Amino acid sequence: MSSPDTPLRLMLIADPGVATRRIQAITERFTTEVRQVLTKDVEVEVETRSVRIDTDGALDIAAIGELDAEHLDADAVLVLTEVPRYEEGQALVAEIFSDKRTAIISFPTLGVWDTKRRIREIFMNCLLKLLPDEHGPVEKKYSQRWARWRSTEPGDQHRLFAHTVTGDPRTILGMTVANEPMRTAPKLSGALAAASAVGAFGIFYYSIWQMADALSTVRLLSIGVAVILSMVAWLIFTNRLWDKPINKHVGRVVMLYNGSTILTLLVAVTMLYLALVVAIFFGALVVIDPDFLADLIGSDVSLLNYLDIAWLSAAMGVVAGAIGSTFDSSMDIRRVTHGQREFQRRYTEDDPR
């Protein structure tokens, strides 16, 4: 432990990707807050690295010891990982190893909203537990209403568990955020190109115009939903993105992986579908003369008619052109979901590192 005149040295470690960006975003404010709460100078260092997981899919505790060994001069090590953790039938938000001066925080369990504030507060909460002699009675300020601490070994190890009801949904949403579906969509550019090529034909075929006018809004929406779900199922099937538990112990975590995979692809494919609708809509405005369309369908024409044509043409394009497409590269497949990425950090007996 540092002396009163020695700056407190903190090490913040985060997985590559969204976890690192969140850490970088909060570092300055977190440093200021630590100085105010502990009333002493603080030095904070940030490092990006992946913490290994073992063959059961759990965080490798031995690797945590290595982190501590590499930062012997740090007073506390706070790790933000994108690995979802599950213990005692509940989602595990954070775990403190007092003997290693280390706390592990699982980013997915923080959910979707206001994650920067939650990370900062949980970091402070963990730090105050790691340094019990360094602060006054301010710990309640950083407690989370949706999570509860439990001691596993008195004075040595503490675990912060998410609420039993909201823990799983919050974790799945958090895993989806970590999967970054906004960055997944461009990796399906090949599928979008194929869908655009076929969907564009809808601009030139009278039968598509008449069918779009005849179908109700509910039916058109149902067609869009069915196409999106079909595309998601095809991507999961052809790219083998559905994970299977290797044993009962990791069954619940694998369920979370699969849930986040479905939600990630739903967001990505929906974005692509809507982008295709917009492109075809503007194309239809340029190509299809309003008077000609009005004569064909026998009624006045509005922008909704063009939107209906674009919606149906996009559905036709996805079914006919994109259903056989896949991701642009094998690297994109491995990075698109949690389950696939975890294979990159898992080690085996043949490759212990």
Which comes out higher in pLDDT, residue 329 or 250?
A: 250
Helix (H) or strand (E) holding 106: strand 102-106
Structure confidence by residue, pLDDT tens digits, 315-342:
888 876 555 555 555 555 555 655 555 5
Confidence label for 311 from pLDDT (cuts 50, 70 and 90): very high
Which comes out higher in pLDDT, residue 227 or 146?
A: 227
The angle subtended at Cα 44 by Cα 42 and Cα 48, nearest 5°, is 170
Confidence label for 299 from pLDDT (cuts 50, 70 and 90): confident
Which tokens in the block code for residue 345?
A: 């950090």
Closest CA to 54 of 83, 16, 12, 32: 83
Helix (H) or strand (E) holding 96: strand 90-97
Q: Decide if pLDDT at 347 tops 60.
A: no
Q: How far is CA 101 from the centre of its chain?
A: 28
Q: Are 257 and 243 in contact (CB under 8 A)?
A: yes
CB-count burial class (<10 Å; 0-12, 13-18, 19+) for 248: exposed
- The per-residue pLDDT for 202 is 81
**Is residue 259 classed as helix, strand or coil in its secondary structure?**
helix
- The per-residue pLDDT for 224 is 93
Flag the least confident range among 101-115, 127-141, 262-276.
127-141
- The per-residue pLDDT for 350 is 41
Structure confidence by residue, pLDDT tens digits, 14-47:
888 888 888 999 999 989 888 888 877 888 888 8
Which tokens in the block code for residue 201?
A: 């034909």
Give, in order, the Cα–Cα distances in Å from 38 to each of 8, 32, 67, 131: 9, 10, 24, 10
Give the C-alpha separation, 81 to 61, whole Å: 13
- b/e map 173-196, b = 16+ CB within 10 Å: bbbbbbbbbeebbebbeebbebbb
Crossing angle for the helix pair 303-317 and 206-214, nearest 10 degrees? 110
**pTM of the prediction?**
0.76
Structure confidence by residue, pLDDT tens digits, 83-129:
888 777 778 888 888 877 888 898 888 888 888 888 988 898 888 88
Q: Which residues pair with 148 in a beta bridge?
A: 161
Beta-carbon contacts of 262 under 8 Å, excluding residues fewer than 6 positions away, are 232, 236
Regarding beta strands 102-106 and 76-81, do their DSSP bridges make them parallel or antiparallel, or are they unpaired? Answer: parallel
